Amino acid sequence: MIICTGVGPGHLDFLTRRAAQLIAEADVIAGFDAVVNVVRELIPAQAQVILMGYRDQVAKLDQVALEHHAGKKCVVLFMGDIHFSGFQYLERVERACGHPVEALPGISSAQIMASRGKVCFDETTFITFHRRGDLEPFKRHLSHVLADGRNAIVIPCPWDFMPKDIAAWLLEHGAAPHHAVEVWENLTRGDAEWRGTLAECTGEFTDMSIMLIRTLAPMPSQIEPAPQP
């Protein structure tokens, strides 16, 4: 058996019961160091732990696949939720195994951001730059999202396209400088927040940051006067 599961944004309170059960019953736990450390206390003492980084993930996933094909219960851990920012990694797991694998959803920092910012996904678009490859189509998509009057929840790309770079790109491509912006770091585990405007978003943030760019509030001249009695 092999299953991929999200472990939530960083605090065990946001780990699903099903994910906790799978971890407790696993023969093999695999994932990036920072992700495995989130659930370290839940991993059985007898379980084999396969840690990986960006450079050796392909070789380590091949090792996980061998254990899976040998009949062991293997759980591959993802930060947050697989379906928000983990599909390229999921594809690598499936490539190593040679077949589709089961994916169990988790709670994403994007969902926590929506809750903290009090925005609903009906009126909000999620975009992640935390990926390999060409970011230009996703940059253009973000520009269109704001032009269409929607909020945007954005995961930056460490360290190549961080909040200040996202803000600068949007301003260079015609976004209004007075969009309200929030940047949160380490959601659910020692939160830090910054609030300001797109034009003011020039500071340094960690690789555990996420942005909320709000749709523009209507200008006073755009608000229809109330009908007279």
pLDDT in tens, 10-26: 999 999 999 999 999 99
Mention every residue, 6+ apart, whose C-beta is less than 8 A from residue 39: 7, 12, 15, 20, 23, 29, 77
State the pLDDT at residue 221: 42
Q: Quote the Cα angle for 108-113-114, to 5°.
A: 100
Domain ranges of the chain: 2-104, 109-213
Is residue 3 within 8 A of residue 76, CB to CB? The reply is: yes
- Domain covering 109-213 in this structure, CATH number: 3.30.950.10
Rg (CA), the chain: 20
In the chain, the N- to C-terminal Cα span, in Å, equals 70
Q: Is a pLDDT exceeding 70 seen at residue 172?
A: yes
pLDDT in tens, 132-150: 899 999 999 999 999 999 9
The mean pLDDT of 185-205, rounded to a whole number, is 95
DSSP 8-state secondary structure symbol assigned to residue 121: G
Is residue 167 within 8 A of residue 143, CB to CB? The reply is: no
State the pLDDT at residue 219: 44
Identify the CATH homologous superfamily for domain 2-104: Tetrapyrrole methylase, N-terminal domain (3.40.1010.10)
